[in-house]
A and B are shown apart, each in its own frame.
Chain A
Amino acid sequence: MSITPAVQFDLHRRMVRIRLFEEAAGRLAEAAKLPGFLHLYVGEEAVASGICGALNDDDHITSTHRGHGHLVAKGGDFNRMMAELMGKSTGYCKGKGGSMHISDLSLGMLGANGIVGAGSPIAVGAAFANKYRGRGQVAVAFFGDGATNIGAFHEAANMACALHLPIVFACENNEYGEFTPRDKTMAITDIVDRAAGYGMPGVIVDGMDVIAVHEAALEAVAKARAGGGPSLIEAKTYRFYNHHGVQNLGLKYRSDDEVAKWKERDPIFTLEDRMIENKVATRQRFDDIWAELRNDIETAIKFAEDSPLPTSDQVLVDVYSANGGN
C-alpha cells in the first residue's frame, strides 16, 4: 500500500463510524424508535470513506436515499444525525428531513435525497459554482447503479462533460436497484461503460477495498481540481441489509449464499487484517477504536432520546427564506 498508515487509520475510522451508526440505527428501527424509512449503508462503507477521504472540507457531495454513510464519511456529527433520525428538534434538519434528507451544508454535504438520480444534477450545479469561483473546490455525486437508468443522471453527466466541470461521478454498484437485480434492468455489466458515451474517463474499483477506492478517488479528484474535467468511478460493492429496513437474510430476490460470500469481503475487517499483517496496526489498537466510537454512538443515542420533539408551530417555519432582497 502506498497509502500512509495515518491515512489507513483515517479511512478505517470513517468506515467504523458508518458501521456503528448504521447498526445502531438498525437496532433502534427494530425497536420501533425511528419513524419512517431506513436505508442502511452497511457493506458499502469503503466507497463513501475512500472517496470522502480524498476530499477537503469545502468540497461538495450529493448523496442518495442511502445517505447516512456519505454524511458520516464527510465528518457528520453523530448526535445531530441520530436526533434527526428520531425526528427531534436538535437534529440536522430540526426533524423536518429525516433519514432521506439528512445534510450538513457546512461540511459540503448537500443532502441525502429521496429521489433516485436527483443528486447528480445538483452536484453539477455545485461543480459549476466551484469552477465559477475558481477556488479549486470539487464536487462528487454519489449514486447507485439504478440511478444510471434515470434521465437526470444522463443529463448531468453530459452537461458536466460539455461544460468541463470539476466533478467526480461516484457509482456505488451494489447490483440491485431496490429489489431487482441489475442484469434485469440494464444490458451492460459495468456502469463504467457509460462514461465513454459522455467523453469522460471511468474506472472500476473493488468497492470492498477502501484503499483501492481511495487511490482511484485521489486521482479523479486531483484531475478535477486541476481543471481536467469529470471522471466516473464505479465501485463494485454490496449492501448487507435489505433495500430498506434491517432484514438481511431470507430475502426473495437474492440468496443467503450470495450475502455470505460478500460478507467474507467485509471492507472493515479485510482492511484490519491487512493492516495487522503489514504491521501498521494491532488488534488491540482496533479494539480501542471500536470501543471509543461505540461510546460516541451511545452518547448520540442518549442525546437524541433526551432531545425535545419539534413543536407544532415549526410546521410553517423555513418554507421560505425571509431575507430576500425585497
Chain B
Amino acid sequence: MSDERKLPYVMAFNEAVRQAMEDDPNVFCAGEDIGAFGGVFGTFGGLQAKFGAERVVDTPISEQAIIGLGVGAAVTGLRPIVDLMFMDFMCVAMDQIVNQAAKLKYMFGGEARIPLTITTAGGGGLSAAAQHSQSLEALLCHIPGLKVVHPATPYDMKGLMAACIREDNPTVMIKHKRLLGIQGPVPEERYIVPLGVANVVRPGNDVTIVAWGRMVHEATAVAEKLAGEGIQCEVIDPRTLQPLDIDTIVASAKKTNRVVVVHEAVRFGGLGAEVAAQIQEHAFDYLDAPVGRIAAPFSPVPFSPALEQHYIPDGARIEAGIRSVLFRTPVGA
C-alpha cells in the first residue's frame, strides 16, 4: 500500500464532498464559517471557491435553522450537507434533528424522502472543555430514522461520507477532531464504504475489542502490544453506529468468547451497553467473561489536560480492561 496516495482524514472528507458536488447538482453545503473560511477545521476548504456561494453557503450561527434548512431542502428534492461546527451544538438543534429530520418520512406514511447529511465534529482530547468535546453518539443512535457514522480512518471517511451523501435518509457524519490530521491511503477515484458494515481492523482469536472513532487507534495499539505476549485481539470498528453491524460483532464474540467495548462517551447509557446487551442476547452461551466496557467516567469532559488525560480512555485502561476479561491474572497474584 506504500505507493498509494495518502490523504489526511480532513481532506478525505473534503474530497468526498467535492466529488459528490461535481457529480450531482442537487448537492449543496451550508453551515457556519464553511464558505470563504472553509470551516473551522478546514473540512470545507476550497469548496466555495470551486462551487460558488450558492452551493457552499455561509449561514448565521443558528443551529435550528441550519438543520431546518437541510430538512426543508431535502424534503423538496435537494441533497443537502449541513454542518454543525461542534457535536455539542447539535443540542441546540435537537428538535429539528430528532422530531423533524428523523421522523418526517414515517409520520408522512413513507411519502417523504430526506436525503440529508449532517456533519459535525465530536470527541475530546483538545482541552476544549465540556461544551466542545462530547461524544454524543448514543443520543443519536437512540432515534429511529437517523443513521450515524463515525469513521476512524481517511479511507473510511471518504467512502462513508460518499455513502452518507447518496443515502436517502438523514445521516449524521461524526468527524473526530483528533483524527483530522491523520494520514492514510485514500484512492482518488470515487468509492463507497457501505453504511452498516463493520470493519475487522485486526483479526484475532483470544478477545474481541469493539471500538470506534479515535478509540480504534488506541485499541489497535494495545492489540499490537498484547500480540507480543501471544494474546491475539480481534479489533472491530463498526464504522456505522446506527445501523450497527451486530452480526459481525456477535460472530467475533462466538469465536473469541470474550469482548471489550471501548468508547469515549460516558459509560452509563453509552453504546457499549447496547453492544453488551445484544451480545448476551445472541451469544450468551459462548461468553467466558462478562462483556467489558471501557469508557469515560460519568462527568462532563474536564478542561485541564491533567484531568482530561484521565477522562478519555487510554492504552493503559484499555489494556487493563482486556486483561480483566482474559482472566490472565492468576487469582491472588
Contact = CB atoms under 8 A, between A and B. Distances in A.
Interface string A118-130: 1011111111111
A123 B108 contact: no
A122 B108 contact: no
Contact of A122 (B100, B110, B166, B167): B100
Nearest to B147: A320
Given A114-B99, A132-B54, A324-B169, 4 more contacts: A92-B108, A105-B111, A125-B76, A162-B59
A318 B104 CA distance: 10
Contacts of A319: 105-106, 144-145
Interface in A79-131: 91-97, 101, 103, 105, 110-111, 113-115, 118, 120-130
Contact size class for B?
35 or more
A157 to B, nearest CB: 9
Contact of B71 (A96, A121, A323): A121
A20 interface: no
Interface stretch (B62-70, B260-268, B281-289, B295-303): B62-70
Contact of A129 (B63, B78, B112, B144): B78
Contacts of A129: 72-73, 76-78
A6 interface: no
A321 interface: yes
Interface string A52-79: 0000000010100000000000000000
Contacts of B175: none
A159 interface: yes
A120 to B, nearest CB: 7
Given A121-B64, A158-B60, A96 B106 contact: yes
A60 B192 contact: no
Given A125-B71, A132-B78, A324-B195, A111 B108 contact: yes
The size bracket of the interface on A is 35 or more
Interface stretch (A21-29, A148-156, A207-215): A148-156
Given A93-B107, A101-B107, A324-B167, A118 B99 contact: yes
B3 to A, nearest CB: 29
A325 interface: yes
Contact of A324 (B71, B75, B145, B166): B166
B214 interface: no
B258 interface: no
B194 interface: yes
B194 to A, nearest CB: 5
Nearest to A315: B106
A247 to B, nearest CB: 27
Contacts of A96: 106-109
Contacts of B147: 320
A131 to B, nearest CB: 8
Contacts of B66: 159
Contacts of B108: 92-93, 96-97, 101, 103, 105, 111
A312 interface: no
Nearest to B67: A121
Contacts of B194: 326
B168 A323 contact: yes
A320 B68 contact: no
Contact of B107 (A111, A126, A159, A162): A111
A187 interface: no
B69 A124 contact: yes
Interface string B59-101: 1101111111111111111101000000000000001100110
The 7 lowest CB-CB distance pairs between A and B, nearest first, are A125-B72, A121-B68, A325-B166, A318-B110, A94-B109, A155-B65, A93-B109
Nearest to B108: A103
A289 to B, nearest CB: 31
